Amino acid sequence: MAAACQSSNKAQTLIDQAITAHGGEAWQDKRIEFDFRKFHLTLEHQGGKFRYERAQRDSLGAEIRDILTNESFVRTINGQKQVLDSVQVGKYSRAVNSVAYFVLLPFKLRDPAVLADYVGEGTVDGQRYDKVRVRFRADGGGKDHGDTFCYWFNQQTHTMDYLSYSDEGPRFRKAIHPQVVGGIRFQDYINYKSNDTDTTASIRYDQQYMAGQFTELSRIENKNIRVVPLR
């Protein structure tokens, strides 16, 4: 029990250091806007409440807006609220939340549903890292609360430079193009995949990456980032 507590405490210290390195509380009481692929997203956090909006136009030019808050999910088409079943609500809300989650890392690692523990050190691309494994409580962890993530925190800069997860197969992400906007550090990612069928070893994906067992799958790039204080 004592060892588990020490692991959890060290993980929390590393997360707190990373949050400071990425801008501290600069993301609170702000509106963050950016373009991701065909979508324009707006993320707002204020007083413990959040509002995420994703806008796009379909092939006929209709404007589709997906709005996710603490309390609900709403989709509108040309301003008209749509009637959705539970499957559609789950699908669209997870899609919006997923983009927001990765953009807001490492800040999202302070969520109450997070269960973090320290799992050791590693060397990636010539830099030394501390590794933190993250799982989620069923209560508040969402549909994917059973997933396991791992984060690599640079021992010198405390930035979060790599992460891994196993949704739909082994995935390993490398942070690229860091930029500071409105006091917040934003990062794009190279998303790597592996043909390995073992999805339980995400804390060791750095070793497989260094061994050349991961290949590039996609680029996660957020463009035209703006940060505006909420009034």
Q: Has residue 168 got a pLDDT over 80? A: no
- Predicted pLDDT at 48: 86
| Position 147 pLDDT exceeds 80 | no
Q: Over the stretch 9-23, which tens digit does the pLDDT of each residue have?
A: 999 999 999 999 999
**Confidence band (pLDDT; 50, 70, 90) for 51?**
very high
Angle, alpha carbons 138-140-142 (nearest 5°): 75
Band (88; pLDDT cuts 50, 70, 90): very high
Q: How far is CA 206 from the centre of its chain?
A: 18
| CA distance linking residue 91 with residue 203, whole number of Å | 28
Asked whether the predicted pLDDT for residue 144 surpasses 80, the reply is no
Average pLDDT of every residue of the chain? 92
Q: What is the mean pLDDT of residues 128-153?
A: 81
Can you tell me the distance from the alpha carbon of 104 to that of 32, in angstroms, rounded to the nearest whole number? 10
Q: What pLDDT score does 14 carry? A: 98
Q: In which residue are the tokens 């806008």 written?
A: 55
Nearest CA-CA partner of 106 in 158, 69, 145 = 158
Q: Residue 3 above 80 pLDDT?
A: no
**Residue 137: pLDDT band by 50, 70, 90 thresholds?**
confident
pLDDT band of residue 169 (cuts 50, 70, 90) is confident
Q: Does residue 33 contact residue 226 with C-beta atoms inside 8 Å?
A: yes
Lowest-confidence segment of 59-68, 150-159, 193-202 by average pLDDT: 193-202
3-class DSSP state of 151: strand
Q: What is the pLDDT of residues 179-224, one digit of tens each?
A: 999 999 999 999 999 987 666 688 999 999 999 999 999 999 999 9
Confidence band of 33 (pLDDT split at 50, 70, 90): very high
Rounded to an integer, what distance in angstroms lies between the CA atom of residue 170 and that of residue 172?
Answer: 7
100-109 per-residue burial string, b: 16 or more CB within 10 A, e: under 16:
bbbbbbbbbb
